[in-house]
Structure 1
Amino acid sequence: MKLRILIIALLISTLAFAKGQGTITGILTEKNLNNEGLPSANVLIKGTTISTNTDVNGKYSLTVAPGNYIVQFSLLGYETVEVMVTVKEDEVTVINETLVSASYNLEAVVIKSYRKKDTETALLLDQKKAVEIKQTIGAQELSRKGVSDVATAVTKTTGITKQEGSGNIFVRGLGDRYNSTTMNGLPVPSNNPEKKNINLEIFSTDIVEHISIDKVYNGKIYGDFAGGNVDIVSKDYTGKGFLKLEVGSKVNTNAIAEDHFTLQGGISKLGFTNKNIPSSPLTQYNYNTLQLKSFSPIANSFGISGGKSFQVGTEGKLSFFATAAYGNDYSSKSNGTAKASVNGNGVANKNFSKYSALNFDTNTTAMANIGYKINSNNKLNYNSVFINTSSQSKEEYTGYIVDIANNGNGLIRRFNYEKNSLWINQLLGDHTVGERSKLNWGISYNSINGDMPDRSQNIFRKEANGYVLSSVSAPDNHRYFQKLKEDELAANASYDYKFNKTEQGDFNGKITIGYNGRFKNRDFQATQFNFKVNQGFTNTVVDPTNLDLFYNAQNLNNGVFSIATFRGNSQVSNALDPQTYTGEQIINGGFINTEYKFEKLTAVLGLRAESISQKVDWNTQLGGTGNDKLEKNAFLPSVIMKYELNEKQNLRLGFSKTYTLPQFKERAAFVYEEVLQTKIGNENLYESDDYNLDLKWEMFPKSDELISFTAFGKYILNPMNEVTISSSSNDISYVNTGDYGYVTGAEVEYRKQLFDFDTENSKSLSAGINASYLYSNQELNAEKVNRETNYQVAFTNSKSKFTGASDLLLNADLTLFNEWNEKNSNLTTTVAYSYFSDRLNAIGTDGKGDLVDKAFGSLDFIAKSKLNKKFGLGLVVKNILDPSINRVQENANNEVNVLSYKKGITLSLNLNYQF
């Protein structure tokens, strides 16, 4: 009885409140999706704060006072529609509208045209409509999955993994050399002398609108392609003005568990420290301190972003967007072991029972975007991005070192500080010429400084009375200085011409002609100063935590130790000449694509021609003075076909020929020494030719759902790999390991809206999963390597997988969304899981087995809440399972664990406020 009275009272109060009001309701649909409802679209009474969002079926409802209004319908990725409406007292006015693309004409509505592609629904629509076979992940999905950098972002798509401890990615089992990176379609230089691609971890998702991954080649992309091209599309602001502030904090369980989180002193925490070779480095001691400095391993971050648009005349619009952010991060690898130079019987020349690594990283990012829409047919954009990153680390290896610490009493400590500064400048143009033609162009100038200022390494042996420094080899104790400077000018231009106009006003055909050019120059130099303990002082006891007591000006002057480079000591006239190499790469390419739609079938035939010139000059202790030039003229055909099985299903086919170039440092006679391995270049390395085939079926049950299956294959002539060559120190080099190799596999992706608990208050549960299985195989031909190069190899096996290839890759996520308080507040919680199976790290030689990174999975939890219209809060827990990371050498009779550690769990808390 009481319940009935309460319900009646609520109804009476509701009717009393609604008296004198009117209702606007209806359904918002998308014409290209068979008039299905569009969820999450915004419905606004223009000039007021009264608004709502459509539910999963596109339905909406608003209550307003009687009067005349303009109702505005908008959704990112679609054109905004405004409709005049008259609302009468106690009456319901129904307005059903359809959002369409620019190729359709609407009558009796006002259209404001802009497209912003960052919502999952909009990106899925683009994927469905596009002829090219591609995958895209946008800002909305990145936020939902708690992704903060581009490297992690691309691993959330099918068939892509990231190398542990770096930002290097593998696409369908193919590593760095087979992939490429662009920003807004223009190339981006590398910050690592050993890599073709820039470390994608340095790109914060704060500057990203969406990321497009092309795993199927088309003629608009440079021909140096086999795995995939990652295109970072920067934010292009449209809309009302805003200003957003953000602060955050982060902790890693391993880092805070350290008794003393200590790194080398004398380096700024902001990440802008510049260290050059000191004056008189062979005769005077002016080097930075080697003392340890304690850190409090609690990371922090802050950022500011804002944007505003201004109307210019009757048609023009000027838009500004800028963001600046700084963040740091502490991490620790703990409970580790390591081995190096392991022979086929499992015996190691270096066997470390304890391995640890502490890291402090910083990232400072600033971006400015200026967009000028001259009119509906012409638009210009200028992007400027500055990124400064630094990484400071301390690695320690304790255990057995042959001929130095035979009793397991050795200690190797390496301090490393890397600093990279990248500056990207782009000017882009988009021009529509009549109804048939369109011109797109872009030019960019990019520069990067990648420095390793003052890397230091010391090897100790613990005796009964304390630690002494190793004096077996001069490089045991050294300081190393490295500088990389790379500049690149690039230009893109394409012209579209449509033909064969239909009665409906569409065009069945399109011809695209275009040009791409890139002109890259690299200067690299490095100098290593070896600190040799002189006779009579080799048993001097030192304090590993304060080596300044030993390495100082007084002991240098007294002859306790001496300093020399690989060229010699201060008595050698050119001792301070750095080891150098320079690289020049020029690529000029032209293409023509013909696209034609035959009812349900659309086909694109492309032909690209490129002229490639790559020149490397060097002056090093290994190869003396030398140079080498690689020239190639490439003709690259491609075919892409899309067949619309029905309005919700597509069948796609892609076939192409491409190539893969070696990189500058791979062809320069330069030695780079790490603790566990040494790498040298090979001037006889040459390019590979690649043949690519893809077949894909996809289905879009609803606007936010996807089911797809892809089969693919790649055949590679003269594949390149890192291998161990025959040498006294088991050096690694780069060689064309055989005549052929191939990769085949399958990918599946499924996105599903599982439940809609409450459509009125937008409570829903959604899930996504993508998986890929691949098989790779390549010929290993030692006779070919010995014949074509100056190196000797003896492969343990006659065939091998590709390095970086995992048989199985898996990503899965489950998201619960809840909205309340008149949709001003919401909470999104996501559980995300990633897994990769065993992955080949390096090919075995001389009876030694392959090095393999063992399988592991990673579980993350992400919670993002909008507390009200202005405040937002986020919690991210990464690597919840905290699995052991292991690398093994798979010998014939045993499996030797050569590297093992744990990363710990990372917890992040973020707060933002938008004015």
Structure 2
Amino acid sequence: MKYLLVSLFLIVSTLSYAQDKGSVVGKVIDKEASDEPLAFANVLIKGTTKGTTTDFDGLYEIANIDPGTYIVVFSYLGYESVEIPNVAIEAGKATTINVPMAASEGMSLDEVVVTTTTRKDSEAALLLDQKRAVEIKTAIGAQELAKKAVSDAADATTKVTGVNKKEGSSKIYVRGLGDRYNSTTFNGLPLPSNDPGDKNIDLSLFGTDIIENVGISKSFSSNLSSDVAGANIDIVSREMTTSSLFKVGISSGYNSQTTFKDFKNIDGANWVGVNTDTKHNIRDLTAYSFSNGFTPETNTASPNLGVSINYGKKFQVSDESTISFFLVGSFDNKYSFQDGVSENAIDVGNTGSQFDTKTYSYNASKMLMGNLVYKINANHKLSFNHLFVHSNNQKIEDFTGTTTDIGRGEDDNRLVNLLLQTEVQNRLFVNQLLSNHKFGETIDVNASLGYSSIYNDEPDRRKNTFIIDNDDNTTRISQNAVRDNSRFYGNLFENDYSANVNAVKYLGERFENKGKVTLGYNGRITDRKFDGIYFDHNFSSPRTAFVDLDNLDNTFNQENLSNGVFGIETSRGRNNNDAETYLPQLYDADKKVHAAYIDAIYNVTDKFTANVGIRAEDIKMNVTWNTNISFPGFSNNSSIDLDKQYILPSLNLKYALNDKINLRASGSLSYTYPQFKEIAPFAYEGINYQESGNPGLLPSDNYNAEIKFELFPKSNELFAVGVFGKLIQNSINRLERNSSIERDFTFDNAGDASVFGIEVETKLDLFNSESDNFKRNNISVGANATFMKTKLEYNANNTSFNYTGSSSELEGASPFTVNADVSYKFDFEEKETIASLVFNYQSDKVYSIGTNFQENIIEKAVPILDLVLSHKFNKTIGLKLNAKNILNPSFERYRDIPEKITMNSYKNGVGISAGLSLNF
């Protein structure tokens, strides 16, 4: 509470602003030289100090122009000056003026081509799109992301009302609904998951350099995939909007818990995060031929580093036709360290394992995106997008403490040491071909094709278990379970093919009509192959196998293997050298989705608009597995098919009380399909838990409804209140089951779930001033809050689990969430200064649902406070300073009993970074 009060005080006492401006771009043509580009012509906004000159290609850009009507003057030595009157500059939009110039004959205004396009990255443009849309939606653009120091798409979503993120994970929860209830698209096309356990791709892979905006649709229309109950998150990639761009950025960051301190790294991993040895080559279990050692390396953590390069160019092919390309490349790394506790507390006086924990994490990511856009004319556009993301996450978890069978007596001075070293490498390739066409004034045809592939590798995950005897100061091998000392190799490969096609018929002309009717098709084919194999190190006499924690490879080596100190056994349960020994545990899966829809928007009156849609979907999914475990009713070598057909209606209503106030309502039916790994009975083992799938899972049916009030006082201001409700029949949940393993998890249709809540959002200007010499001072504030009630009613007929009580809140659903930001902005000519304070608070929420007569585990509320400072010295040089997690709160989880026994506790440290950008 003390952190919350301090944070709120700081927010109230600090001010901020983000003001949208427009720009003028275009090309100047030399009529004296057969319409060649005219370089070094002067372009000036009359009555201001804003101006520029054209480049060698005759291209120019004047940015950061205040909204209004201006006269734009074009001049060149020896040529007739040209004045273009009544040029309207709109917030968040770019006005294009292409001008021919001549020496003496002058020119007529009808030779000038003036067009205006929306900037999809600005706050005002996105608010305008939200205001005009029939469906309920929201988005956050690149401009706002920069103001709030957002580094990736995962953090971007948490700035939107009703969205929060689980601590220590990039998984987001929308209105209390987690990964399996959401969907992710990139430019409207679906993306595969990079993790075998997740439905959606890790949003933190998408850095803000490639993001134009992130749209979140929390109500549904027939054109969206219906395998969703929380939200569809659509990442829109950047394109060239100016004549040219060359930008270089470099940043460095300091963390109070890691930088210049001792840090443990995995042997075999590297700083750049590239591992080419992702598969094992073991073919002889009597030969110890692993390429990496068990002993972690210790060095000093360097400051975090970020480097990015943006380059783009637009070419004028003709008066109406342009070709542009945009390239982005970046590298980022991050060190983090957590020092805390982990306990499996059941009740007062009843605690299982108790550990002091140290977690060392190192992340390195590389990204390359390029797009090519051919704008044939105002009616036809083709674009190709390619995205490559390479991420590498390295983690060492070092736990020391007691378990139920070691170190429990008062006279027992022994401790258990668990060491888990994990490296996960992802390579994502995305290719998209998009086309947009307008035929006449009444028909649009849009088509898009996508092919994506993901490689997810977990090479040589190493686990060790030791017993430390403090009485005689010795450490020996512990082997209470098969996997206590093991290596694991896991590899996932997935292909994803997708297509969207739609035809739009306007009921009237395109910009003046009574509505439109859309016929469309969405298709997606996904196939996945996953395999994993364990190499267990089984010691013949673990009680006499002593080890040196600083030199584990003195124990795990060829000599001790040859002498019979330990033997190697695969997850097939064999230690001989027949061919079947090296067959991995695996599952193959494929899913085919074909959908057709019809969607109609009709303006019943000037104020009332209705959107009615119906979607027919056919889903066929097969999962085939060959593992070393079985599930009741299924063998360890089997398969299952889930085939379903759906008819899904949707309704969106909008009533505009006036040009500033909207009333909205929506309702829809959707579904939630089980994910591949939730079905496959493959056991994934963590440091002190195990998780496996359930082939008996069935899809869930979702009923969604919402009403909303919106007020738009100005172009960049908003006040909104919404009430929503959801009913999920046969909901899927992650649950703990009866097992000899201390924490053994699986998935089940636990029962029906309901979600009800209210959302409030505001964006307001508090102060604007402008002096006679065009110095501007601006202050603004933004805030949103969600109040929510969730309930999971357990299925009483399900006897597979011993539920604690009859109901629970949903996992990850925070009853109260608030985001707030305040900013101050000053600009004069080419100089600009922005200071923003950004705050997030999530109340206590369920971390995992309790079963076996154990209460839920709760994640404690924490406040997060960030400070962002940026300054542009001129149009070339910019500087940014960020301070993140200023309050450095303790992240804690506790068992939901009156005593609230702490089960986990750690801090992330304060992060400070500085970045320099150069625009050429």
TM-score above 0.5: yes
Instruction: After TM superposition, list the pairs within 5 Å mapping 1:200-211 onto structure 2.
Output: 200-211=203-214
The secondary structure found in structure 2 opposite 1:548 is: helix
Is the contact made by 2:883 and 2:913 (CA closer than 8 Å) also made in structure 1?
A: yes
Q: Does 1:325 align with 2:330?
A: yes
Deviation at 1:295, TM superposition (A): 3.6
Is the contact made by 1:797 and 1:844 (CA closer than 8 Å) also made in structure 2?
A: no
Aligned residues: 842
Instruction: After TM superposition, list the pairs within 5 Å mapping 1:704-853 onto structure 2.
Output: 704-729=716-741, 730-738=743-751, 740-758=752-770, 760-781=774-795, 783-786=796-799, 792-820=800-828, 823-853=829-859
The secondary structure found in structure 1 opposite 2:901 is: strand
Deviation at 1:322, TM superposition (A): 0.4
Is the contact made by 1:261 and 1:297 (CA closer than 8 Å) also made in structure 2?
A: no
CA distance in 1, matches of 2:281, 2:577: 18
Is the contact made by 1:709 and 1:748 (CA closer than 8 Å) also made in structure 2?
A: yes
Is the contact made by 1:69 and 1:85 (CA closer than 8 Å) also made in structure 2?
A: no
Q: Which residue of 2 aligns with 1:103?
A: none
In structure 2, give the amino acid aligned to 1:703: S
Partner deviation per Cα, 1:358-389 (whole Å, 9 max, x = no partner):
11101100001000011211100100000000
Cα 1:289/1:44, change in 2 over 3 Å: closer
CA distance in 2, matches of 1:235, 1:410: 51
Partner deviation per Cα, 1:704-763 (whole Å, 9 max, x = no partner):
11000111000111111111112222421111111x221010101110111114353121
CA distance in 1, matches of 2:380, 2:466: 66
Cα 1:382/1:83, change in 2 over 3 Å: closer
Q: Does 1:383 align with 2:396?
A: no
Q: Does 1:859 align with 2:865?
A: yes
Is the contact made by 1:285 and 1:553 (CA closer than 8 Å) also made in structure 2?
A: yes
The secondary structure found in structure 2 opposite 1:278 is: coil
In structure 1, give the amino acid aligned to 2:809: K
In structure 1, give the amino acid aligned to 2:749: N
Q: Does 1:433 align with 2:439?
A: yes
The secondary structure found in structure 2 opposite 1:256 is: coil
Instruction: After TM superposition, list the pairs within 5 Å mapping 1:533-552 onto structure 2.
Output: 533-535=539-541, 538-552=543-557
Is the contact made by 1:519 and 1:587 (CA closer than 8 Å) also made in structure 2?
A: yes
Match of 1:601 among 587, 608, 611: 608
Is the contact made by 2:73 and 2:81 (CA closer than 8 Å) also made in structure 1?
A: no
CA distance in 2, matches of 1:674, 1:556: 25
In structure 1, give the amino acid aligned to 2:907: K
Partner deviation per Cα, 1:427-474 (whole Å, 9 max, x = no partner):
000000110000111000000001110111111111223211112222
CA distance in 2, matches of 1:313, 1:393: 54
Q: Does 1:271 align with 2:279?
A: no
Match of 2:167 among 157, 164, 170: 164
Match of 2:530 among 516, 524, 527: 524
* Most deviating of 644-653 and 465-474: 465-474
Partner deviation per Cα, 1:53-73 (whole Å, 9 max, x = no partner):
788774779999996434665
CA distance in 2, matches of 1:112, 1:424: 32
CA distance in 1, matches of 2:322, 2:159: 35
Cα 1:228/1:221, change in 2 over 3 Å: same
The secondary structure found in structure 1 opposite 2:553 is: helix
Cα 1:81/1:197, change in 2 over 3 Å: closer
RMSD: 2.3
Q: Which residue of 1 aligns with 2:307?
A: 302
CA distance in 2, matches of 1:562, 1:218: 58
Instruction: After TM superposition, list the pairs within 5 Å mapping 1:167-186 onto structure 2.
Output: 167-186=170-189
Q: Which residue of 2 aligns with 1:147?
A: 150
Q: Does 1:687 align with 2:699?
A: yes
Q: Which residue of 1 aligns with 2:505?
A: 497
Cα 1:64/1:620, change in 2 over 3 Å: closer
CA distance in 2, matches of 1:116, 1:381: 17
Cα 1:767/1:322, change in 2 over 3 Å: same
Is the contact made by 2:23 and 2:65 (CA closer than 8 Å) also made in structure 1?
A: no
* Most deviating of 459-468 and 809-818: 459-468
Cα 1:763/1:343, change in 2 over 3 Å: same
CA distance in 1, matches of 2:432, 2:839: 36
Partner deviation per Cα, 1:252-289 (whole Å, 9 max, x = no partner):
1111374x211122212111113321333522112212
Cα 1:83/1:645, change in 2 over 3 Å: farther
CA distance in 1, matches of 2:354, 2:215: 44
Match of 1:220 among 223, 226, 231: 223
CA distance in 1, matches of 2:711, 2:303: 46
Cα 1:904/1:890, change in 2 over 3 Å: same
In structure 1, runs of 5+ residues without a counterpart are 1-37, 87-105, 787-791
CA distance in 2, matches of 1:692, 1:62: 51
Is the contact made by 1:44 and 1:50 (CA closer than 8 Å) also made in structure 2?
A: no
Match of 2:400 among 386, 398, 418: 398
Q: Which residue of 2 aligns with 1:885?
A: 891
Q: Which residue of 1 aligns with 2:899?
A: 894
Tell me which of the two structures has the higher relative contact order, counting C-alpha pairs closer than 8 angstroms and 6 or more residues apart. 2
Q: TM-score, normalised by structure 1?
A: 0.89
Q: Does 1:675 align with 2:687?
A: yes
Partner deviation per Cα, 1:170-194 (whole Å, 9 max, x = no partner):
0000000100000000000001111
* Most deviating of 299-308 and 267-276: 267-276
CA distance in 1, matches of 2:393, 2:23: 43
Is the contact made by 2:333 and 2:363 (CA closer than 8 Å) also made in structure 1?
A: yes
Cα 1:180/1:242, change in 2 over 3 Å: same
Cα 1:808/1:109, change in 2 over 3 Å: farther
The secondary structure found in structure 2 opposite 1:255 is: coil
The secondary structure found in structure 1 opposite 2:204 is: helix
Is the contact made by 1:270 and 1:362 (CA closer than 8 Å) also made in structure 2?
A: yes
In structure 1, give the amino acid aligned to 2:219: V
Q: Which residue of 2 aligns with 1:369?
A: 371
Instruction: After TM superposition, list the pairs within 5 Å mapping 1:284-299 onto structure 2.
Output: 284-287=287-290, 288-293=292-297, 294-299=299-304
CA distance in 1, matches of 2:64, 2:315: 29
CA distance in 1, matches of 2:706, 2:168: 31
The secondary structure found in structure 2 opposite 1:274 is: coil
Deviation at 1:539, TM superposition (A): 2.3
Match of 1:42 among 20, 23, 31: 23
Deviation at 1:123, TM superposition (A): 1.0
The secondary structure found in structure 1 opposite 2:798 is: helix
CA distance in 1, matches of 2:331, 2:96: 39
* Most deviating of 802-811 and 398-407: 398-407
In structure 2, runs of 5+ residues without a counterpart are 1-18, 29-40, 51-62, 102-108, 631-635
Deviation at 1:314, TM superposition (A): 3.9
CA distance in 2, matches of 1:817, 1:443: 42
Partner deviation per Cα, 1:121-154 (whole Å, 9 max, x = no partner):
1111111111121001000000111111000001
Partner deviation per Cα, 1:53-97 (whole Å, 9 max, x = no partner):
7887747799999964346655575462659999xxxxxxxxxxx
In structure 1, give the amino acid aligned to 2:608: L
Partner deviation per Cα, 1:841-885 (whole Å, 9 max, x = no partner):
111112211011111110000112111110111111110000000
Cα 1:57/1:274, change in 2 over 3 Å: closer
Cα 1:666/1:68, change in 2 over 3 Å: closer
Percent identity, aligned pairs only?
36
The secondary structure found in structure 2 opposite 1:666 is: helix
CA distance in 2, matches of 1:386, 1:413: 33
Cα 1:749/1:540, change in 2 over 3 Å: same
Cα 1:549/1:39, change in 2 over 3 Å: closer
* Most deviating of 46-55 and 798-807: 46-55
